[in-house]
Amino acid sequence: MSLSRRTFLTGFSGLTLCSIASSASARVTPRQSLGPFYPQKLPVDSDADLTSVDDKNGQATGQVTRLSGRVTDQSGVPIKNAQVEIWQCDAFGAYHHPRDGGGVDPFFQGYGRTTTDDDGNYLFKTIKPVAYSGRAPHIHMKVIDGLRELVTQIYVRGEPANKGDFLLNAIRNKQSRQSLEIAFEASTDLTESELVARFDPVLG
Ligand SMILES: [Fe+2]
């Protein structure tokens, strides 16, 4: 299922000014490892809605989350037409990857991609990440703008497991580390069960 343009724009109304103000001297988003579960082969349905799969009649298990943000360079200039990809394990802690058993939830897409609009904005519908063996909950992200590529991981702000996550804590600078920890909050603009989360990647 595709996210409509209307839904896309609604998701960003009111956020643009805030983004411009906060990105004047932005810190480059720290890089994180690609990990072992980047898709070997992209799923047939690889759109920006990870909570349903085209040929399957059901909804993904998990806390539905609208993950949005704006891709900019260090000067705060939005990067349009950047490709943004995310991948994460399903609500049962399994990646939809052969090396991780192929996943448990048949209604979770596991991977999605989209392209930033003219203002650098992107939007995904996915689930709040859950922990799996040895890792704090996280969402993997790759942003490609021509020859520039950022691979990183997004964590849940306030999640106790973050303190023990070896990859997150490999980032020694506290502000850089915290820039990967984002809030997952209830939104009054959306249905009550959905969360919103915002992550603004800064390409160096
Ligand atoms: Fe992972």
- How many angstroms separate the alpha carbon of residue 119 from the centre of ligand 1? 29
Task: Name the token pair of 92.
Answer: 């049962």
- How many angstroms separate the alpha carbon of residue 34 from the centre of ligand 1? 8
How many C-beta atoms lie closer than 10 Å to residue 110's C-beta? Answer: 26
Would you list the domain boundaries of the chain?
Answer: 5-203
- How many angstroms separate the alpha carbon of residue 6 from the centre of ligand 1? 31
- How many angstroms separate the alpha carbon of residue 137 from the centre of ligand 1? 8
Is residue 109 within 8 Å of 59, Cβ to Cβ? no
d(CA 136, CA 143): 22
pLDDT of residue 1: 44
pLDDT of residue 26: 80
116 vs 26, more confident: 116
> Is this model's pTM higher than 0.95 or not?
no
Q: What is the pLDDT of residues 29-69, one digit of tens each?
A: 999 999 999 999 998 999 999 999 998 999 999 999 999 99
- How many angstroms separate the alpha carbon of residue 95 from the centre of ligand 1? 8
CATH code matching the domain that covers 5-203, chosen among 3.30.300.30, 2.60.130.10, 2.40.110.10, 3.40.1010.10: 2.60.130.10
Task: Name the token pair of 113.
Answer: 């991609």
- Angle value at C-alpha 53, between 139 and 144, nearest 5 degrees: 45
Of 16, 38, 75, 63, the closest CA to residue 152 belongs to 38
List of residues 6+ apart from 9 with CB closer than 8 A: none
- How many angstroms separate the alpha carbon of residue 173 from the centre of ligand 1? 21
> Number of helices and strands (H, E) in the chain?
3, 11
- How many angstroms separate the alpha carbon of residue 94 from the centre of ligand 1? 10
* 3-state SS assignment for residue 160: helix
- Angle value at C-alpha 141, between 73 and 65, nearest 5 degrees: 105
Q: What is the largest CA-CA distance in the chain?
A: 46
- How many angstroms separate the alpha carbon of residue 146 from the centre of ligand 1? 25
Q: What is the pLDDT of residues 137-191, one digit of tens each?
A: 999 999 999 999 999 999 999 999 999 999 999 999 999 999 999 999 998 776 6
- How many angstroms separate the alpha carbon of residue 89 from the centre of ligand 1? 7
- How many angstroms separate the alpha carbon of residue 20 from the centre of ligand 1? 30
